[in-house]
Amino acid sequence: MRIGIIALLWMSEANWREHNDRGLAHYRSGNYTEARADFERAIGEAAEPGFAAQSWNNLGAVHYQRGEFPEAERSYRKALALWAEVDRPASLYATCRINLSVLLRQTGRLDEAGGEAQAAVSWLNSIGMRGISLASAHHSLGEINRMREDLDRATHHLTLAQRELEAAPDRGIEATILQSLGTVWQDRRRFDLAEPLQRKALERFESLYGTGHALTAGAAASLGQTLLSANRLDEAEPYLHRALDAFERHYGPRHPRTALALNNVAQLARARSNFRVAEPLYRRAIDILRETQGPKHPDTGRVLANLGAMFVQQGKTRGAEVLFREALAISRGFQAAAVSEHLASLLEAQRRYTEARRVRQSVAN
């Protein structure tokens, strides 16, 4: 009887591994429909909670790539609950917490995202695990702090991430960190420092994954944004359009990454005073972000403010005021200060000085 039980457990593990490995292969090739089916089969075959946890984490990654954020969060949390039943969880436990952190960051829940990333850092330190996993956790904390507009702390964590890779190099993660550091310098408007980092990241991604990969497209988008911000419009254009085309192919037309790429192309059209092209791109981006990330996400506020600024250029003051007020209600930090200044200036141009003063005070307080 004991031999029979052992044989059944071995067969169950073999079946789990077959489905899980096949799902990983489909995931890497971008075939998310087949990957999802394989991971669901793997979960059904898993006899041990640690095996099931791995497949739940993988299933969460599939949902994330498809823009199915509620389903992704449920999958990640199911994986973490299963790992809580394991005496010594695998290193993928930390990876799952980092994945959940990225998801929460994407949906604007920065405090929760920071908690998950910090938990991953603490757990990895407690077991003495260094290298790639710890670098990924620090990178996530760097991105969270960049979104909070705490650029000094963002740089600190990104630098720690780089140090972790010294003993265990990984060119893909290294390129991701370079891209993030470039974006921090872009946020500081030091385009001379941002551009070489972003070009290096783009070259790394191209050599690793090719020109059409989503990670390569992300690096192209970052470089295009820097060139656009530096008013080098002709240089920015191919990178921004390349990113949009790749995101639409990889993520689909209703994904947040696609929405932000649409916003970038709209910004380019607006910089050239091509308002008839820019407006429908902005509106499509806002519609996608409201649907996928909710109406209170900072990215939604950013695109609303961009459309409002374009309306000011066109003399559409009533429409601009509505957009600025909506953006201000969901913005924070430097972004809120910038939106409030746009709105206050618009009100002052209409001699509504008391309202303008209240707007500035609301952000100052």
Is 271 in contact with 313 (CB distance < 8 Å)? no
The answer as to whether 201 is a domain residue is no
pLDDT of residue 8: 43
DSSP string, 3-28: HHHHHHHHHHHHHHHHHHHHHHHHHH
Count the neighbouring beta carbons within 10 Å of the beta carbon of residue 174. 18
CA dihedral 42, 60, 170, 84 (to 10 degrees): -80
pLDDT in tens, 16-71: 889 999 999 998 888 899 999 999 999 988 878 888 999 999 999 999 988 888 99
Instruction: Tell me the residue range of the domain where 276 lies.
Output: 262-365
**pTM for this model (two decimals):** 0.84
DSSP, res 274: -
What pLDDT sits at residue 4? 45
The answer to whether residue 129 sits within a structural domain is no
Rounded to whole angstroms, the Cα distance separating 307 from 152 reads 30
Name the residue with tokens 């961009």: 306
Is 3 within a domain? no
Confidence of residue 339 (pLDDT cuts 50, 70, 90): confident
Encoded tokens for 256: 């947040």
pLDDT digits (tens, 9 = 90+) for 58-69: 999 999 988 888
| HSE-up (13 A, CA, CB side) for residue 138 | 24
The answer as to whether 275 is a domain residue is yes
Extended beta strands in the chain, E state: none
Number of structural domains in the chain: 1
| pLDDT surpassing 60 at residue 7 | no
Rounded mean pLDDT of 172-181?
94
Please tell me the predicted confidence (pLDDT) of residue 306: 95
* Residue 285 contacts residue 263 (beta carbons within 8 Å): yes
CA distance linking residue 331 with residue 152, whole number of Å:
20
The answer to the question of residue 328 being in a domain is yes
**Residue 348 domain-assigned?**
yes
